[in-house]
Homo-oligomer: A and B are copies of this chain.
Amino acid sequence: MGLEALFYPERVLLVGSSTIREEIGMASPALFESIAHNLRSFFKGEFEAFDVKSPENIRELRRLGKTFDLVLLALPPDLSLSALKESVELGIEAAVGITGGYSDEQREEIRRVCEEHGVRFLGPNTIMGIINTDNGLNTTFEKNLMPEKGGISVISQSGGVGACLLDWACYQGVGLSKVAFVGDKVDVDDADLLEFFLEDEQTKVVCAYVEGVSEGRKYLEAAKKFTEEKPLVVLKGGIIEESARRALSHTASLAGSFEVFKAALKKAGAFLVEDLRDLFDASVALEKQPRLKGNRIAIVSNVGGPAILMADALAREGFSLPQLSEETRRELLRLYPKIDPTNPIDLIADARADRFKKSLDIVASDPNVDGIIAITMLKSCYLEPEDVRALVEFSEEHPEMPILNLTPGGEDFALIKEQLKDSRVPVYDSPSRVVSALKALRYWHQRKAA
Contact = CB atoms under 8 A, between A and B. Distances in A.
Interface in A280-327: 301, 303-309, 311-313, 315-316, 321
A370 interface: no
Given A275-B430, A275-B432, A307-B246, A164 B312 contact: no
Interface string A40-53: 00000000000000
Contacts of A276: 306, 309, 408, 430-431
A102 to B, nearest CB: 13
A161 interface: yes
Contacts of A164: 306, 377, 379, 408-409, 412
A237 B277 contact: no
A367 interface: no
Contact of A380 (B159, B274, B311): B159
B348 A315 contact: no
A344 interface: yes
B308 A158 contact: yes
A246 B304 contact: yes
Interface stretch (A4-12, A192-200, A334-342, A441-449): A334-342
A331 interface: no
Contacts of A128: 380
B380 A315 contact: no
A342 B244 CA distance: 12
Nearest to A429: B277
A239 interface: yes
A80 interface: no
Nearest to A277: B430
Interface stretch (A106-114, A166-174, A218-226, A396-404): A166-174
A243 interface: yes
Task: Give the interface size class of chain A.
Answer: 35 or more
B340 A238 contact: no
Interface stretch (A25-33, A55-63, A65-73, A116-124): A25-33
Contacts of A350: 22, 24-26, 28
Interface stretch (A81-89, A247-255, A262-270): A247-255
Each complex incorporates copies of this chain amounting to 2
Interface string A133-163: 0000000111001000000000011111111
A28 B382 CA distance: 10
Nearest to A313: B275
A242 B309 CA distance: 11
The residue in A156, A166, A245 that gathers the most chain B C-beta atoms within 10 A of its C-beta is: A245
A128 to B, nearest CB: 6
Nearest to A211: B308
A305 B242 contact: no
A257 to B, nearest CB: 14
Nearest to A237: B308
A191 B223 CA distance: 55
Given A101-B338, A245-B342, A276-B430, 16 more contacts: A23-B338, A25-B348, A159-B303, A163-B377, A167-B408, A171-B410, A171-B411, A211-B308, A235-B309, A237-B308, A238-B308, A242-B315, A246-B307, A249-B340, A274-B312, A276-B408
14 contacts: A24-B336, A24-B339, A25-B338, A28-B350, A142-B380, A159-B303, A160-B304, A163-B379, A164-B412, A243-B315, A245-B342, A274-B432, A276-B306, A276-B309
The 5 closest A-B pairs by CB, nearest first: A158-B305, A171-B410, A160-B303, A163-B380, A167-B409
